[in-house]
Amino acid sequence: NAGVTQTPKFQVLKTGQSMTLQCAQDMNHEYMSWYRQDPGMGLRLIHYSVGAGITDQGEVPNGYNVSRSTTEDFPLRLLSAAPSQTSVYFCASSRGGRNKNIQYFGAGTRLSVL
């Protein structure tokens, strides 16, 4: 039972570099989300998707892109990394409908931007 798998676990980037954080789930969940977790700020929603081909912005979308070409995968792209994007990133998935808020989280990616 893999659940929600995030790669990599750790990453260090230089300012201006780009990279993609990977997220895959094997539960056939419709709903997927990306959050960032910062001390004192809690979990803030970056982008979310209610199904393949559909994405929407969350609270803090600037500097990030997403796409959802398959049900399983929901990658998060940092276009030009900035120190303010240093954070722990969590991907989550859930069934749609009444259970969309019972979210299953990945183990997280710890990102440092120098």
Kindly report the number of other CB atoms within 10 A of residue 103's CB atom: 18
Closest contact distance (angstroms) between CB of 64 and another protein is 15
| Cα separation, 104 vs 94, whole angstroms | 6
CA 46 to chain centre: 7
Residues 82-101 that bind another protein (CB under 8 A): 90, 92, 100-101
CB nearer another protein, residue 13 or residue 109:
109
Closest CA to 74 of 26, 32, 11: 32
**Among 11, 44, 63, 72, contact with another protein (rule: CB under 8 A):** 44
**Among 5, 17, 19, 45, contact with another protein (rule: CB under 8 A):** 45
Q: Which DSSP category does 83 fall into?
A: G
Closest CA to 66 of 28, 20, 11, 5: 20
**Among 13, 23, 24, 35, contact with another protein (rule: CB under 8 A):** 35
Closest contact distance (angstroms) between CB of 96 and another protein is 8
Residue with tokens 């789930």: 25
Residues making contact with another protein (CB under 8 A): 33, 35, 40-45, 48, 50, 58-59, 90, 92, 100-108
